[in-house]
Amino acid sequence: MPRMTRSWTLSWPVAALALLLWAPGCGPDAKQLKIDELTAENDQLKGELDERDRRINDALVRENDSRSSIDELNQELAKLRADGQKLKDGDGWITTPTFDMLTIPGEILFASGKADLTSAGRSKLSQVASDIRSRYPDRDIYVFGHTDDQPIRKSKWKDNWELGASRSNAVIRTLQSFGISGDSLVQANCGQYRGRATNASDQGRRANRRVEFFAVKRNSGIIENTAANRGAGGEE
């Protein structure tokens, strides 16, 4: 009888340990699985953050390139005017040897503080799309959003940068809906900067609220040379 008691005494801890190891969620395998699961989730979140940062950096590069592009285009336009060249102005489009330009007042396209196109704005962009299809099928179309410098107070936009970008994006998407290929469209934004007039008066602010279109001949050298020079020389 004592021998049986001793046997039971020795086997009880072994059985208890076995139960602990096999109990769901309590054994080392379950813990390791949880660790692996959390590690995988952490790696996924890190990957998503890295991808977000990459997209932000890419957007900033495109934004800087776009601002440089409009500077080059406007410099070319000013040079032609300074040289006394007569620029053709038909249906609102200004024609130069290397690009054509169209300006549409913001009040035609959008209500104050809004980025939703008005019915008149959609009608105007339908005409612009028709011009692009008939006149500029082989050109790149740069679309620049411009605002005045009045602070954003009541609308949902964080600032004029965001408003200008949303407006130019709305124009781009509408042109695509009218059949203009996205391959030829370049969406850009200048916000409150690069105004045409002073923001000190209502008239000046009205002139600054606009969307500009540049139909640029491909391989014309204006945009390409600027990009090449920046790539070769780097930042100073």
Which residue pairs from 109-118 have beta carbons closer than 8 angstroms and sit at least 24 positions apart in sequence?
Answer: 109/167, 109/171, 109/211, 110/167, 110/170, 113/152, 113/154, 113/155, 113/157, 113/163, 114/155, 115/157, 115/163, 115/166, 115/167, 115/169, 115/170, 116/170, 117/170, 117/171, 117/174
Question: Which residue has tokens 């660790």?
Answer: 35
Give bridge partners of residue 214 from the DSSP assignment: 101, 142
Mean per-residue pLDDT, 24-49: 73
Architecture of the domain defined by 58-230: 2-Layer Sandwich (3.30)
Q: Where are the domains of the chain?
A: 58-230
Question: Which range has the worst mean pLDDT, 2-11, 173-182, 203-212?
Answer: 2-11
Reply yes or no on whether the pLDDT at 231 is more than 50: no
Residue whose C-alpha is closest to residue 100's, from 140, 63, 60, 155? 140
What is the reported pLDDT for 134?
Answer: 94
> Model's pTM, two decimal places?
0.61
Query: Which has more pLDDT, 231 or 207?
Result: 207
Query: Which has more pLDDT, 138 or 11?
Result: 138
Sheet holding 185-191, edge to edge: 88-90, 93-95, 99-105, 210-217, 139-146, 185-191
Query: Which has more pLDDT, 206 or 85?
Result: 206
Mean per-residue pLDDT, 217-229: 55
